[in-house]
């Protein structure tokens, strides 16, 4: 796995086996995959970029309404942004996991992963 690596800290919300809810994790992106490492425990999850179907970005209020059917007023001091990663597992099952962050720069980090996933899918098209 050569090439440029980017890492950013997120907080796990749901869908990552071996990583508890509200636990810090580092999300590392390189040319071919994303790697999620728990900061509490020893869980490490690898996902090939080509397996990503989409990454949805929602503010805290929208996330709670859409995914939990609960109205929650966002915290004004440090609002959360949720990132819903939808992917196909190795057996083609549709799955997802959810991370969140308080940092504004997380959005550009996720956008970079989203672009890599789109570019990777375009490379696989053959005529």
Confidence bin at 104 (pLDDT 50/70/90): confident
Identify the pLDDT of residue 73.
63
Mean residue pLDDT of the chain comes to: 83
Query: CA dist 25 to 7, 21, 64, Å?
Result: 10, 10, 21
Q: Are 82 and 13 in contact (CB under 8 A)?
A: yes
Q: What is the pTM of this model?
A: 0.83
Show the domains of the chain with their CATH numbers. 6-123 (2.30.29.30)
The pLDDT of 34-53, averaged and rounded, is 88
Range with top average pLDDT, 61-65, 104-108, 121-125: 104-108
Q: Are 8 and 109 in contact (CB under 8 A)?
A: yes
Query: pLDDT digits over 68-80, tens only?
Result: 766 666 556 678 8
Identify the pLDDT of residue 125.
39
Q: How far apart are CA 93 and CA 90, in angstroms?
A: 7
């Amino acid at each position: 796995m050569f090439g440029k690596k980017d890492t950013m800290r997120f907080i796990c919300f749901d869908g990552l086996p071996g990583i508890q809810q509200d636990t810090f994790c580092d999300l590392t992106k390189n040319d071919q995959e994303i790697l999620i490492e728990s900061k509490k425990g020893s869980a490490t999850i690898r996902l090939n970029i080509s397996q990503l179907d989409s990454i949805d970005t929602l503010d805290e209020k929208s996330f709670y309404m859409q995914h939990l059917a609960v109205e929650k007023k966002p915290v004004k001091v440090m609002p959360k942004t949720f990132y819903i990663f939808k992917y196909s597992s190795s057996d083609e099952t549709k799955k997802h996991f959810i991370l969140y962050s308080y940092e504004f720069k997380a959005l550009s980090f996720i956008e970079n992963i989203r672009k890599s996933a789109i570019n990777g899918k375009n490379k696989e098209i053959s005529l």
